[in-house]
Structures are given as C-alpha cells and as structure tokens.
Amino acid sequence: MIIPQPEEISPSKVQPLDVVLFLLSGFGYVWLVYFVDRQSFVQVLSGFGALFVCYLLLYKYRSTKIEMLILWGLFFRGLLLFALPNLSDDFYRFLWDGEMINMGMNPFRHLPSELMSNSTDFASTHQALFENLNSPEYYTIYPPILQVIFALSVFLFPSGPLWANVAVMKLIVLLAEWISIVLIGKILHKLRFPRKGVLLYALNPLVIVELTGNLHFEALMICFLLAAFYYLLQERNIRSALFFSLAVGAKLLPLMFLPLIMMKLGFRKAVRYYLRVALFTVLFFLPLWDVELLLNVWKSVNLYFQKFEFNASIYYIVRWVGYQLYDFNIIHAAGPWLSLVVLTGILLLSFNGRYSWKELFEKVVLTFTIYLLCATIVHPWYISLLIAFCVFTPLRFPMIWSAMVVLSYAAYQSDTYEENLWLVAIEYMVVIATLLWEIRKYYLLGLHLRR
C-alpha cells in the first residue's frame, strides 16, 4: 500500500477567503447529503451549484498550500461517513448481497424475488430490505471484490443499524479515495505535470458526494486502476497486473483498457500481462465460482443494458429515429450496435501506432468517453473515472461534465422517474461542444494531443 510520507502533508497559513470557502463547502456537503431528498431537484441543483462555485474558487484562486487542500478534501469526505445515501438506493442491494453471503448463500445464484417467494422464514426477516431493492428481478452484477466488502459490513453489524453497515463500506471507500489522491500526485510527478492537478479530483463535489456520500464503488475501481498504471509506469508489470485484476474485481469496465496497454508494452509483454490479469481475476472469482455464475451475471448485465435507460446521448437519438421508423423502442437492436461502435472506437484508438505514457492516459479518457456517449445508462457517478484520469491530460471537459450531469437528477422528481429530455440535451450539448473545442485546440492531425 502506498501512503504519503509525513513531510508530504504539512499545514500552512490559511487565508480568510479560503477559510470562508472551506466552511461554506463543509456546510454544503452536510446539508446536501444529510438533509436533501433526491426528489427535491431544486435543492439538489442549488446544493451542487454552490459546491462547484466553491470548488472553482479554491482551485483557481487558492492561497493555501496544496497539501492542506488535499486534507480538506478528505475531511469533506469524512463528514459524510454516517449519512445514509440520499441520492441513490443501490446500497440496499449491497446489504442484500452481504446478507446472502453471511447466510452461506451465493448471491450470483439466487434472485431476491425467488428467495422471498420460496421461504416464509426468510421473507419475514428480510421484508424491509427487499422492499427497498431497485432490481429484485435481477441477479447481482457486483463482482467478488465488492461482495467481500458487502459481507464484511453485515458480519460486523448483523442486526444493523443501517447507518453502521453503511459506515463500514464508506470507510473502505474513504481509504480508497485517500490512496487514489496519493497515487494521482505520484503519477503527476512522474509525468512532470503540475502537482495542483490532484485538486481537480480531491476537491471535485461530484466525486465527493457520489463516491463517499452516496456509496458508489467506482472509488475502488479508480484506486486499483490508478495503482495498476502507476506500477506500469515503473515497469513492475506483475504488481500492475494484480491491481488491474483487482480493478476488474471491483467493476468489469477496466477490461476495455486492455487493448491500449498492448500498443504501449508491445505484443510479447502485453500477452504476458494479459495472462497475469486473467490468472489473478480467475483467482478472485474462484470463491464464488460455479457453472451458473457467468450465465447469471451475463443475463443480468445483458438485461440491464437492454431494458434500462437513463441520461443517455447518442442512444436517445437512435431511439427517436427508431420510433419514427418502426413506432417502437429499438433498444434491443440498438444496444449491440452501439457496443460495436464502442469496440471499433477502442481498437482505432489502440492500434494507431506507438504512443507515450501521456498519450496513453489521453486514450484512456477518450476510450471511456466513447463508452459513455454510446451507453444507454449514464449515472452521475460514472463520470468520476474520467475526472481521475483527465488530470494527466490537457483535457478538462470531464470537469464540465461533472457539473452538468447533475441535471440528470431532474428525473427523480416523480416516482415514475420521467426524464426532462431538454435538460439531457443541454447537458450533452455543453459537454460535446467543450470536447470538440478541446479536440480542435489540442489535436494535431486528429491523432495526438499537443503539449
């Protein structure tokens, strides 16, 4: 584990403006996470808006040392440890899966709805938790690394209360965030980028609220992925492969970055790297492995991307065209075609010649951007990975996106989750316009970012 040395975090004189911004930010985080319901869109929007203003001012006009501002970022996260997530209900499924494991059951094999209908005793003790699940008809899609965390939170507090179970998981997220911030600083130093870039992630309100406040485990994926690239930079490929496997064990999404690594390492080294990643990943899945595991996970993931829609961009345009031509939702056909577009984009970015480490991070950002633009679902916390990796590039459109994606919370004003497509359009017009402007500003011949 990488931890900062004592001399890396030294207090400094804090100017009055920074103190005001610190106090306003702290109050804003507590108010937004502890007291605002996601159905109150005006309050959500105003809370995030105020926090982003403080964030921008602290980054642009700071007089306090970077080390102190990093501590502030960690402090803001710490304030949110004991709040039940108010902008997301995913944590109920985390606890459900944890209950399954502690009862000796494999969460990949049992549908919540089936368990409730087949066992009267089970139903009587888990009714309250079941009623809060947002996907009772689906097998869990959370990989083994997360399942260990879910089980730990239930094991430590088998009878609750809920806030204690949640606090255990949030402590792990907070630790991952701390390590991520340290790793970002080390990678920036290795690439000879200005150290203040770490503040773009450490103080970002969306990252703080969504990962720690609303308990999303993109925090672990980001932490492990940063560690994988950090050790790759140091040519410690075995350790890098281990952390890359941990990232896959937290979320499956990092698999899309493997083609990028091939052109950086060369064919032979990349093949060895892939084999190590495969071996470690299999080992992580082994405790919960059975024949049905892959089938059930694939079934849930497939249904997830062919049934659910939220805050999409290109897909919504394709859907509209489908309604005009066929008078029904073509999500079942559009999903696979958009996946093919993503795969083509990844391959084009990967196999266009050898590139530097700086260009590798640029391609990571652009690869994930292509994925999000083609996805049928883009929740606000999905943007956090872009924020973590754009700090190693000149690209700053993820910062704009992190603010604009808050508009998607307008969908929660009603129980039917009806989206305001005008707000979705505004979000993506601003983000895509910024992206195109940055491409025009930084790209030469459409291939490499200019320094």
Token pair 């919504």: residue: 316
Q: Return d(Cα 7, Cα 28) in angstroms, integer.
A: 30
Helix (H, G, I), strand (E, B) or coil at 428: helix
pLDDT tens per residue, range 61-71:
877 789 999 99
Q: Are 233 and 357 in contact (CB under 8 A)?
A: yes
Give me the sign of the Cα torsion angle 438, 444, 449, 451: negative
Q: Residue 171: count other Cβ atoms within 10 Å of its Cβ.
A: 14
Cα-based distances in Å from 121 to 87, 118, 127, 258: 32, 9, 10, 46
Token pair, residue 55, equals 């964030």
pLDDT given for residue 263 in this prediction: 80
- Per DSSP, what are the bridge partners of residue 377? 310
Cα angle 142, 148, 152 (rounded to 5 degrees) comes to 125
pLDDT given for residue 353 in this prediction: 67
Q: Give the distance, in angstroms, between the CA of residue 40 and the centroid of all CA atoms in the same chain.
A: 24
Q: Are 281 and 293 in contact (CB under 8 A)?
A: no
DSSP state of 253: G
Q: Residue 52: count other Cβ atoms within 10 Å of its Cβ.
A: 18
pLDDT given for residue 320 in this prediction: 86
DSSP string, 35-87: I--TT-HHHHHHHHHHHHHHHHHHHHH--S-HHHHHHHHHHHHHHTTTSPPSS
Q: Are 424 and 408 in contact (CB under 8 A)?
A: yes
Q: Return d(Cα 239, Cα 230) in angstroms, integer.
A: 10
pLDDT given for residue 113 in this prediction: 85
Q: Return d(Cα 429, Cα 434) in angstroms, integer.
A: 8
Q: Return d(Cα 321, Cα 314) in angstroms, integer.
A: 11
Q: Return d(Cα 201, Cα 208) in angstroms, integer.
A: 9
Q: pLDDT by residue for the chain (451 residues), tens digit each?
A: 344 443 343 445 667 888 999 999 999 999 999 999 999 999 999 999 999 999 999 998 877 789 999 999 999 999 999 999 999 999 999 999 999 899 888 888 888 888 888 766 666 677 888 888 888 888 888 888 999 999 999 999 998 799 999 999 999 999 999 999 999 999 999 999 999 999 999 999 999 999 999 999 999 999 999 999 999 999 999 999 999 999 998 998 999 999 998 888 888 899 999 999 999 998 888 876 666 666 666 666 666 556 678 999 998 998 888 878 787 777 667 777 788 888 888 888 888 766 788 889 999 999 999 999 999 899 999 999 999 999 999 999 999 999 999 999 999 998 778 899 999 999 999 999 999 999 888 764 344 554 4
Cα-based distances in Å from 426 to 278, 321, 406: 41, 19, 12
Cis, peptide link before residue 394, omega less than 30° from 0 = no
Q: Residue 126 class from Cβ within 10 Å (0-12 exposed, 13-18 middle, 19+ buried)?
A: buried
Cα angle 380, 369, 89 (rounded to 5 degrees) comes to 20
Helix (H, G, I), strand (E, B) or coil at 310: strand
> Which pTM was predicted?
0.91
- If you count them, how many residues does the chain have? 451
Q: Return d(Cα 443, Cα 441) in angstroms, integer.
A: 6
